[in-house]
Amino acid sequence: MKQILKKDKKILSTKDYIVSNETYNLYLDLKTKIVWTEINNQQNLNKYYENANYLPHNKNSELLSTLYKISQIIMFSYKYNVLRKKLQSSRIILDYGSGDGQFAKYLQKKNINVHTYDPIIKNQNKTQLTDNQYDIIMLWHVLEHILDIQAGILTLRKKLRNNGVVVVAVPNRDCFDSKVYKNYWAAWDVPRHLHHFNHKSLIDFMKNNGFSLISKHPLFLDSYYISYLSSKYKNSFFPWISSLIIGTISNILGAITSKYSSSFYVFKKD
């Protein structure tokens, strides 16, 4: 997918505020309405993940780390309750791009059979992915990291059983906080985020690759987290206050327009 996306319109330039301070250009492909990050084809992206400053792995801020863990527990419960019926009726689930595997461990404590796989993490006992194996595949803020998203989603589609479900969580480039922070918006997260969706471009992308939308659910706390990081990148004097104000407004407007800072979508394999 990355290779065929066109530079129809330059959206903005933004920096990698976490690791390298390098500047990247973002372009809109008019056919797919997907915004994508231009990178060097020979560029090795691993170093941008392995750096200690890459959140949520950064533990330098004790307060931020504590708040992150608290919000993580809240969101684990929220995700589970939204997906409870599907999770409990599934035989095998894959958490793809599972990171440290904390959500999978949460589900396993509820006697749900979850496999984990993360292509980035080294020395991980990687699950062997076979075709027609899973009832649900979850991608929690993963799709935007995949270099060739079309090949990636089609490969995962093969791993799903008939009528299987894929859960996709992504930031929304049309949300209020993205308009406020512009090139400082933390969810651009270049060069780790290679593709940037809004509601329509994600729905169309999934539909074109054999999936139908079942439901959409906001991730309320993401607006505060993203706004806090964005405020820091912008060198705001009081990032905590700014993030509370912008995050709250973003959620209120999201309730009206459905353009939340971040949401997860449930799709059925056609």
Written as one string, the DSSP assignment of 77-122 is HHHHHHHHHHHHT-S-EEEET-TT-HHHHHHHTTT--EEEE-SSST
Query: Picking from 4-8, 70-74, 120-124, 181-185, which range would have the lowest pLDDT averaged per residue?
Result: 120-124
Structure confidence at residue 57 (pLDDT) = 45
191 preceded by a cis bond (ω within 30 of 0):
yes
pLDDT digits (tens, 9 = 90+) for 31-45: 999 999 999 876 788
pLDDT digits (tens, 9 = 90+) for 207-228: 999 999 999 999 999 999 999 9
Q: Quick one: average pLDDT of 49-66?
A: 64
Predicted confidence band of residue 128 (pLDDT cuts 50, 70, 90): confident
Tokens of 127: 């699950």
pLDDT digits (tens, 9 = 90+) for 65-122: 777 788 999 999 999 999 999 999 999 999 999 988 999 999 999 999 999 998 876 6
List, in order of start, the domains of the chain with CATH numbers: 2-269 (3.40.50.150)
Quick one: CA dihedral 144, 149, 152, 153, positive or negative?
positive
Alpha carbon 52 to its chain's center:
20
Closest by CA to 190, choosing from 259, 122, 144, 140, is 144
Question: Phi, psi at residue 269, to the nearest 5°?
Answer: -70, 125
d(CA 215, CA 199): 12
96-to-79, 157, 260 alpha-carbon distances in Å: 16, 12, 23
Helices (H), the chain: 46-50, 62-88, 102-108, 149-159, 176-181, 199-208, 222-233, 239-257
